[in-house]
Amino acid sequence: LETDPTLLCISAWNENGLGPYVADPSVLERVDSFSGVASLLSVDLLSRELLPAWPASSWDAFLRAEAKRTGRQCLVPEMPRVHHVGEASEDMAKSSDHIITRDAGMFFDASSELEAVDLGDTSRLLRQEYHRRFLEDLAAAKLIDDVDGLPSLHSSTTSAVTTTPPGGAGAGGAGGG
């Protein structure tokens, strides 16, 4: 965060981290949106650029706006490290039933396996290197022309969708799993 000016934040949340489609706790992804939950911002960015214009409400929408992100991205884990507790949400347009149903499908494992994950060489997450790996992964991707080959949302295994990112385990290619 301190060495990469192209980052806005690092988050412990991934709103797309649905089980069983997430599998690798060492994979981190660069995303073009602000997750809004459990995010870390640099003190310099916060004090110099964001706080002077901080809104009285809707801080999450403020940080999601392209005018504030200015092309910067956030790092999110493939597997969320936090989960929503309770019925209230920052998205007040959603009903509490919707929030509970949405969060029930999130992959969250509070076991010791997630307490100390080796993220490997994090230089792979710098914008240029990440982009290079993303294009490499995209070129190696296989076209899926039959949805019957995809794993079921209720499947107990993710082996059909997990891949080893370029550089081996923990390399955190573009999506990785």
Catalytic residues: 60
Task: Say which amino acid occupies 22.
Answer: V
User: Can you name the residues that pair with 106 across neighbouring β-strands?
Assistant: 18
Place of tokens 């070129």: 139
Cα–Cα dist 70/97, whole Å: 35
Task: Say which amino acid occupies 15.
Answer: E
User: Can you name the residues that pair with 74 across neighbouring β-strands?
Assistant: 9, 31
Contact (CB, 8 A) for 76 and 11: yes
Contact (CB, 8 A) for 34 and 65: no
Please give the torsion angle defined by the CA atoms of residues 150, 152, 158 and 159, in that order, rounded to the nearest 10 degrees. Answer: -50
